[in-house]
Structure 1
């Protein structure tokens, strides 16, 4: 059995932090839209030509870089948590996990598999930990928002460069705000997923410890 409480708190905290980072990003998207594109035109002129950035555009680069760092940290902590809950579910249930361990990592990047494997690992860990208990709604909300982000090419990983995103904010900010909302929603729902699965496993572990203590006590009395 692997310690889980601190790992779960760290993963949930990182998800909340990622959500906050994208709130800040949305604020900067709005600031760019309100400011309007400078008379000098978009930052990216094409063919590798870029004009000097103004102060607001420079600050947007800083905001997106910090958000990327938070997203990377969040991914590391979430994967560490996911590996632990998978291992703990196996120890608690005595059942072989539905998904091999390698899919904890590859499940996010292998085409087709990335449409359901990560959710499947979370759901399998929860269901084997507390058999018969209904899967929390937050799991499907989290995964649904994640898929929306993947399908639209938005969310944590943008296909455009930061300068191209700045130009998009000047000319049509609503799609960017929608993608920001998707990331924020997925991060918040993900934090609730981590809390729900962690709580279920901690509960089972404590129940097991209580049973073991009772058996030891009965043996001593005998």
Structure 2
């Protein structure tokens, strides 16, 4: 490892975490709007007037627009952090990476492959930031933050695409109600995925700064 490795930016990390928080709030707003639309659609026919339905549907569309805006902001900041982290971790353990730096950006934009390639980059970064065991030490950094984040993100993305197809094909109030119910589950899962992403980014940043500061090996117990 080089004698001097740039530390991961805490300022950028704070911006990414704030963007994730905004995205989570957007998802919760969508949950509220979805519950309201679901209530109107499934309510008494006499109570579910055209005005109530239009109002609930308008709020649901507005919530979707908020989700798009917050997700776009989150994506820009997170991919920026992801690329810069790949560049810094590449200096620490270049032999740990199976793909070049450019894949930290490009992997997100390849259809179908973007459900797997960014995870490979993340796993390689996690391994590069994990301190090596010293003699007599077998300690390893657990991989669960990476696996939890990606499992929730990829799974929810696929479920969200299915929900969108169901919603677009709905041609009755019952069909809309079923699609909205599915979307409620998707939005709640996105909130969980956002929380897991925060854990991943914070933990990886901390690992990178620790290894860059203290060196490539674990400090022996009792030292």
User: Which TM-score tier does this pair reach, normalised by the shorter chain?
Assistant: 0.7 to 0.9
- Aligned position for 2:184: 177
Cα distance change, pair 136–15 in 1 and its aligned pair in 2 (3 A): farther
Contact 2:96 2:128 in 1 (8 A): no
Contact 1:30 1:169 in 2 (8 A): no
Cα distance change, pair 145–34 in 1 and its aligned pair in 2 (3 A): same
Matched, 1:116 2:123: no
TM-score, normalized by length of structure 1?
0.75
Please give the secondary structure, in 2, of the residue aligned with 1:98.
coil
Report the RMSD for the aligned CA atoms in angstroms: 3.2
Matched, 1:139 2:146: yes
Q: Give 1:58 shift.
A: 2.0
- Structure 1, unaligned runs of 5 or more: 44-50, 209-222
- Structure 2, unaligned runs of 5 or more: 1-5, 133-139, 216-223
Counterpart CA distance in 2 for 1:151 and 1:204 is 35
- Aligned position for 2:130: 130
**Count of aligned pairs:** 198
Counterpart CA distance in 1 for 2:112 and 2:178 is 34
Q: Give 1:165 shift.
A: 11
Counterpart CA distance in 2 for 1:166 and 1:29 is 16
Matched, 1:196 2:212: no
Give 1:2-151 correspondences, 5 Å limit. 3-36=8-41, 54-95=54-95, 97-132=97-132, 133-151=140-158
Please give the secondary structure, in 2, of the residue aligned with 1:36.
helix
Q: Give 1:70 shift.
A: 0.3
Q: Give 1:26 shift.
A: 0.7
